Amino acid sequence: MLTHAQVWSAIDRLAERAGLSASGLARRAGLDPTTFNKSKRITPAGRARWPSTESIAKALAATGATMETFVALTQNGDNAPPRGVPLIGFAEAGAGGYFDDGGFPAGTGWDEIAFPAVNDEHAYALAVSGQSMEPAYRHGDIIIVSPAAPVRRGDRVVVKTRSGEVMAKELKRQSAKSIELKSLNAAHPDRTLAAADVLWMARILWTSQ
């Protein structure tokens, strides 16, 4: 999985490639000049602060870099070797045969994309279709999911129920009896599911937007 240090290191490398400082990159991207400053990477309380996907997208657009380049920069620079990650459409994920009971990719029918920064050999990608997950995820976005990553409150997750429904939500609370999920789109209600009705839940690591 991507770490806080890897993501910020990639931003620094992206700036260096463009001959800019971190603040210079922010200005070129139309952001507040302090957006990428080192002082902004840790909160006053000592917690890690992550850059927003919007700020990363603007930095990529400003430098003409691709998301694949950025992901490579989170590892060992431009030459990080990519590996194949299985890919299907989100709308297909609820159909039978694509996952085993543990939430790991299974069967045939998967495409593949190159994504070098995933250490989970069972990670997979889902292509978003429609508008049900806006503004967090938009039509055409690719989300990278790790069934092996630990899941904590506040994480965005993909959940599959025993009835075959697959959804992307934010984990609000989890107990032995129930799982409370917050919708990513205010137009859709939050959900509370009985733990026994959830087949598996996996953490969303990254979004290519």
- Whether 194 is covered by a domain: the verdict is yes
Q: What is the pLDDT of residues 124-158, one digit of tens each?
A: 889 988 888 888 888 888 888 988 888 889 999 99
Tell whether 146 is covered by a domain.
yes
Residue ending a domain, among 73, 100, 128, is 73
Same domain, 58 and 107: no
Same domain, 62 and 98: no
54 lies in the same domain as 120: no
Query: b or e along 148-187 (b: 16 or more beta carbons within 10 Å of the residue's beta carbon)?
Result: ebebeeebbbbbbbeeeebbbbbbeebeeeebbbebbeee
In which element (H, E) is residue 169 found? strand 166-174
Q: At which of 73, 93, 127 does a domain end?
A: 73
Residues 106 and 204 in one domain: yes
Q: Which of 2-16, 112-126, 184-198 has the highest mean pLDDT?
A: 184-198
Task: Tell me what the mean pLDDT of segment 15-29 comes to.
Answer: 88
- Among residues 53, 73, 93, the one where a domain terminates is 73
Shared-domain flag, residues 21 and 45: yes
Q: Is residue 112 part of a domain?
A: yes
> Could you give the number of structural domains in the chain?
2
Instruction: Tell me, yes or no, whether 65 and 97 share the same domain.
Output: no
189 and 141 in a common domain: yes
Specify whether 27 is located in the same domain as 121: no
Report for 12-21, 23-32, 43-52: range of highest mean pLDDT: 23-32
Same-domain pairing of 192 and 91 = yes
The reported pLDDT for the residue numbered 92 is 84
Residue 81: pLDDT above 60? no
Question: Is 200 inside a domain boundary?
Answer: yes
Is pLDDT of 113 > 80? no
Q: Closest Cα to residue 18, out of 82, 81, 73, 76?
A: 73
Tell me the average pLDDT across 100-118.
Answer: 75
The CATH number of the domain holding residue 33 is 1.10.260.40
125 and 26 within one domain: no
Answer yes or no: do 149 and 171 share one domain: yes
Residue the block writes with tokens 């490398």:
13
Q: Is residue 124 domain-shared with residue 64, that is, in the same domain?
A: no
State which residues form the domain around 62.
4-73
Q: What pLDDT score was predicted for residue 209? A: 56
CATH of residue 157: 2.10.109.10
Rounded to whole angstroms, what are the CA distances from 109 to 112, 148, 180?
10, 22, 32
- Is the pLDDT score of 31 beyond 90? yes
In this structure, is residue 78 part of a structural domain? no
